[in-house]
Chains A and B, each alone.
Chain A
Amino acid sequence: METGRSKALWIVASLLILVWTAFPILWIVMLSFKTPSEIGNVQGFFPQDWTWQNYETVFKTDLFTSALINSIGISLIATFVGVVFATLVAYAIARLEFPGKRLILSFALAIAMFPVVSLVGPLFDLWRNIGLYDTWPGLIIPYISFALPLAIWTLSAFFREIPWEMEQAAQVDGATSWQAFRKVIVPLAAPGVFTAAILTFFFCWNDFVFGISLTSTDRARPVPAALAFFTGESYFEQPTTAICAAAVVVTVPVVIVVLAFQRRIVAGLTSGAVKG
């Protein structure tokens, strides 16, 4: 009796949370399938006429396609560089004794807590002066610096869990420090590297503040910023449905990544904390 009731309660609670979180996304999906004229005229959650029109519009717009390329390129490069840096830093922090180790860790933490908005103004000026404004590196650099702390903390927790003997065994077996790192430590830390990479990628992919402040044209503007400039197919209609379609397009990769690496992320987030 008792277990049956608590089970039912759990199901109800889960459903509530599911609806709560899934509803906005579903709503956007539904909007993206409506015709632009339907908005404000026809009531109802589901579209009256299902249409791919918005998606066609979105992919026909240069603004969006170039933004998509920018987003993918910038996020991937920032993630790659960031994770490589973070791996090396975290390894040094976990393995080596050097002066200023705590300083680096607390600095990383301080950066993570820094309000992003307060940096945008100075960066805007600086970037314009040195010619980084509205370029890919202009976005990649701040992304890396803000993603690094989290990646460093995640990864150094991971490296600490790897028994030092592994590396010593490799060295005795004839490996250089670099070979031991590459052939033994990195593969063992793969779940951690994965977690760090995914978290970094999400951070870059979702960023809006830097994206809109440090770009002015579609040379470097990423999708979240580009959506704000979206005009749709005609100037006489609200571009709501097209924006929704674009939003769905940029959400899909994230959902796919999460679903594909769900186990790894969970394993990565917890295995740093608990032995095993």
Chain B
Amino acid sequence: MAAITMKNIVKKYGDGFPAVNDVSLDVRDGEFMILVGPSGCGKSTLLRMIVGLEDITSGDMLIGEKVVNKVAPRERNLSMVFQNYALYPHLTVFENIAFPLRLAKKPGDEVRRRVTETAELLELTEHLERKPANLSGGQRQRVAMGRAIVRQADAFLFDEPLSNLDAKLRGQMRTEISRLQKRLGVTTVYVTHDQTEAMTLGDRVAVLRMGVLQQVGSPRELYEEPVNLFVAGFIGSPSMNFLPASVDGSFLETPLGRFEVHDERKVAAAGDRDVVLVGIRPEHFEDASLVSEEKRQRGSIVRARVDVTEWLGNEQYAYVPYEAPADLAAQLRALSRELDSDQLRTQAVVALDASSEIRPGREAELWLDTSRIHIFDPSSGENLTRDEERVERLGRIAEESRDAQREAQREAATGGATVAEP
């Protein structure tokens, strides 16, 4: 087990384009770190540089205390699960899992013991003699995991390991990976473009955009205190609404209407800018008729015409189209394209309670929680209302819950062992 430290890592390809640009990242010993970002953001390249399959143009990569820039992959003692699993089709499941041990020239009985243990852990025991071609997607995935955990690697690296599975299996494997990592306590770096995986698995999440690290933090920090427009838009589904607004005292003038921000600090953050972007998550809206009087006081009410509603059972989405000034509309469009979701029109997505009776085509009263809004600088994209104190508190909470989870998994593991040996 070891920490992984990246110092000013740069990766330039032949044409001089930096796929990864000046990334510094600390993965602590035993931590589950997620690398996330839209396609082409350099997250896989970064992972491949950690494992040594990609050369580092400049910067230092440290595993433990050792600089490994020039060390061959086989000498880094890391194990990796590939997106397409990369199982050896000519070998049985047993030999696939045993492969790293055989290369390390471990004695036969030790190989057998460790492969059997791993197979039990992953419930592969009855498939050990089969070839990968005869296995289902989920089983193949488990074999790939088995090959990764069978030897005592310093860290596990996952390159979008669940993207080839169907939705149901993905959910199961996700919890399985989480449980396994917590139990083994091995440093893990996990690349994904999937929101849910990023939010549920990671102790910390690193968001990349065009090779540049945007923000590293606990999932909750990223969601509640994003540093800029990009992170705010990338994390969360449906994504955060960005409304152009002009500041007028403690009021904001938006395309959805004029509302008061009851927070001095937020208003002050906007400074003397004429135009800002207001970020409001869909779930921070509510049907005004369902909001209690007391809660009403904490937010503001806007009136808007709802275009389409989608009723999902547990909640419903309402879409509110609006007109934005041409330059800001273009900027928002560019942002949404970069986030892999080419939104055709400027519209706000509003998550309402499933019991709401707001109907499409009519004017509706929407309550919004102004204490949760963010204000962004439209030119730099910077979040002007990020609350550093809160960030620190969130970090502490994440740390504590992580330790608690790890403890629970270890107890479960040792508890299971005592039951098994009467």
How many residues of chain B have a CB within 8 Å of chain A?
A: 22
Of residues 156 through 193 on chain A, the ones whose CB sits less than 8 Å from some CB of chain B are: 163, 165-166, 168-176, 179, 184, 187-188, 190
Q: Is the CB of A166 within 8 A of B86?
A: yes
Q: How far does the Cβ of A166 sit from chain B's closest Cβ, in whole Å?
A: 5
Chain A residues near B103 (CB-CB < 8 A): 173-175, 179
Q: Is the CB of B88 within 8 A of A174?
A: no
Chain B residues near A190 (CB-CB < 8 A): 90
Q: Is the CB of B84 within 8 A of A175?
A: no
A-B CB pair tally, cutoff 8 Å: 54
Q: Is the CB of B72 within 8 A of A173?
A: no
Which listed residue (A166, A172, A179, A184) contacts B80, Cβ 8 A? A172
**Within 8 Å of chain A (Cβ to Cβ): is B51?**
yes
Chain B residues near A168 (CB-CB < 8 A): 53, 73, 82, 86
**Within 8 Å of chain A (Cβ to Cβ): is B64?**
no
Q: Is the CB of B80 within 8 A of A174?
A: no
Q: Is the CB of A173 within 8 A of B82?
A: no
Q: Is the CB of B73 within 8 A of A172?
A: yes
Q: What DSSP secondary structure best describes chain B's contact surface?
A: loop
Chain A residues near B53 (CB-CB < 8 A): 168, 171-172
Which listed residue (B86, B90, B104) contacts A169, Cβ 8 A? B86
**Within 8 Å of chain A (Cβ to Cβ): is B361?**
no
Q: Is the CB of B80 within 8 A of A169?
A: yes
Q: Is the CB of B84 within 8 A of A163?
A: yes
Of residues 53 through 106 on chain B, the ones whose CB sits less than 8 Å from some CB of chain A are: 53, 72-74, 78-80, 82-84, 86, 88-90, 99-100, 103-104
Tell me whether A172 and B72 are in contact in the complex, defined as CB-CB below 8 angstroms, given that A165-B86, A166-B86, A187-B90 are known contacts.
Answer: no
Who on chain B is nearest to A186 by CB?
A: B90
Q: Is the CB of A163 within 8 A of B86?
A: yes
Chain A residues near B90 (CB-CB < 8 A): 187-188, 190
Tell me whether A170 and B84 are in contact in the complex, defined as CB-CB below 8 angstroms, given that A188-B89, A188-B90 are known contacts.
Answer: no
Q: Complex formed: what's the CA distance from A187 to B92 in Å?
A: 13
Q: Is the CB of B99 within 8 A of A173?
A: yes
**Within 8 Å of chain A (Cβ to Cβ): is B266?**
no
Q: How far does the Cβ of B70 sit from chain A's closest Cβ, in whole Å?
A: 15
Q: How far does the Cβ of A202 sit from chain B's closest Cβ, in whole Å?
A: 26
Q: Complex formed: what's the CA distance from A163 to B86 in Å?
A: 8
Of residues 340 through 379 on chain B, the ones whose CB sits less than 8 Å from some CB of chain A are: none
Q: How far does the Cβ of B52 sit from chain A's closest Cβ, in whole Å?
A: 8
Q: Complex formed: what's the CA distance from A174 to B151 in Å?
A: 11
Q: Is the CB of A175 within 8 A of B86?
A: no
Q: Complex formed: what's the CA distance from A190 to B89 in Å?
A: 12
Chain A residues near B80 (CB-CB < 8 A): 169, 172
Who on chain A is nearest to B99 by CB?
A: A173
Q: Is the CB of A171 within 8 A of B74?
A: yes
Q: Complex formed: what's the CA distance from A184 to B90 in Å?
A: 8
Q: Is the CB of A174 within 8 A of B100?
A: yes
Residue of A165, A166, A172, A188 contacting most chain B CB atoms (<10 Å): A172
Who on chain B is nearest to A165 by CB?
A: B86
Chain B: residues with CB nearer than 8 A to chain A?
51-53, 72-74, 78-80, 82-84, 86, 88-90, 99-100, 103-104, 147, 151
Extra contacts, 12 of them, besides A165-B86, A171-B52, A173-B147 (Cβ < 8 A), are A166-B88, A168-B86, A169-B80, A169-B82, A170-B88, A172-B80, A173-B79, A174-B74, A174-B151, A175-B103, A188-B88, A188-B90
Among all A-B residue pairs, the 4 with the closest Cβ atoms: A169-B86, A165-B86, A173-B100, A174-B103
